[in-house]
Structure 1
Amino acid sequence: MHTYIHTYIHTYIHIRTYVRACVRACVPACVRACVRACVRACVHTYIHTYIHTYIHTYIHTYIHTYIHNIHTYIHTYIHTYIHTYIHTYIHTYIHTYIHTYIYIYIYIYIYIYIYIYIYIYIYIYIYIYIYNKN
């Protein structure tokens, strides 16, 4: 941006020099100062207007783009990282935890109750068999 503005100013300085040379060649001496002042004012105003417009547009656009990029980054980060992390955490940890504990609970439940019932039935069978034998 800095280089661009300087190039623009130098172009207008060359135009001003060219206009000054034309004024010297074509305009009587009594009117030259007035014409020079007028040209200087016009060029100065034009350059300042251009610089202000360019800076305003550039900075405004840059800030909006930057804010939009930050907004996009935050949304992307939240969606991609945090959302994925939460889903991964829920799926990996909690899902695995629940399955592991359900499996352990069912295994223990089945182990305890089935074996208890089997032992009870075996003892009952043995008791009845021994009792009936005597």
Structure 2
Amino acid sequence: MYSCIHVFMYSCIHVFMYSCIHVFMYSCIHVFIYSYIHIFMYSYIHILVLIIIFIFTITCTCVCTVTSSNVIYIYIYIYIYIYIYIYIYIHTYIHTYIHTYILLRTYIHRYIHTYIHTYLRTYIHTYIHTYIHTYIHTYIHTYYTYTYILYIYIYIYIYIYIYICICICICIYIYIYHHHCAAIVSRGWGKASACCFHICLSCAILCQMVPFQ
């Protein structure tokens, strides 16, 4: 009873609350948030911005070859002033939000580990190891100790009761034997009849003593 309850409450709850929650909250969420979102936000958006700038550059070059030189300067100015700033802003956006995500990941990493190592490991271990162990070890052992002591007391008192009954029966037997044997011998029945009466009375006393044993 002690070992099985200890194995169930300590091992199974430890496996469920520490290992499985650690795998789910730390590994799966970390893989999802860090790997896939980082690939999407940094790589694909960065490639998209570079493709847009490349297409715009080719378009400006084609237009500039057809038109005059003033238009070339205008398009170069537009390219430098607008699209490079757009690229800078988008890159700043990506860089800012990725760093925000990294800080968020650090937050998730720190607080999930704090939750797992503090709450699950400390409080649940304290609950399981201290309170349940104290309950099982102290109260159940105390219960069995008091039960055993009570059983010993009951056993002793029953035997004392049996011995008192035996003593009373012996006293009654001695009293009856002396008085009745004296009466039987005085009536002339002889020693043989007295011995038969003695045997029958002993058997009756033993039959009365058997249920107490």
SS of the residue 2:158 aligns to: helix
Post-superposition Cα deviations, 1:68-96, rounded to whole Å, max 9, x if no partner, equal 465356546766676666665555x4454
Post-superposition Cα deviations, 1:38-97, rounded to whole Å, max 9, x if no partner, equal 422322111111111122123313532563465356546766676666665555x44543
Q: Tell me: CA distance 1:104–1:30, structure 2 relative to 1, closer, same or farther (3 Å).
A: closer
Segments of 5+ residues of structure 1 without an aligned counterpart are: none
Segments of 5+ residues of structure 2 without an aligned counterpart are: 1-41, 176-213
Whichever of the two has the greater Rg, that structure is: 2
Hey, what does 1:13 align to over in structure 2? 54
Hey, what does 2:96 align to over in structure 1? 56
Question: How well do the aligned residues superpose, as a CA RMSD in angstroms?
Answer: 3.5
In 2: Cα distance, 1:102 partner to 1:71 partner: 42
Q: Is this contact kept in 2: 1:5–1:51, CA < 8 A?
A: yes
Q: TM-score with structure 1 length normalisation? A: 0.66
Aligned-residue offset at 1:24:
3.6
Percent of paired sites with the same residue: 14
Structure with greater contact order relative to length (CA < 8 Å, sep ≥ 6): 2
Q: Is this contact kept in 1: 2:53–2:83, CA < 8 A?
A: yes
- After the TM superposition, which residues 76-87 of structure 1 pair with which residues of structure 2 at under 5 Å, given as runs? none
Hey, what does 2:187 align to over in structure 1? none
2:145 pairs with one of 105, 118, 123: 105
Aligned-residue offset at 1:18:
0.6
Amino acid at match of 2:80: R
Aligned-residue offset at 1:111:
2.2
Amino acid at match of 1:59: H
Q: TM-score with structure 2 length normalisation? A: 0.46
Hey, what does 2:66 align to over in structure 1? 25
Deviates more, 1:8-17 or 1:78-87: 78-87
Aligned-residue offset at 1:20:
3.0
Aligned residues: 132
In 1: Cα distance, 2:101 partner to 2:125 partner: 34
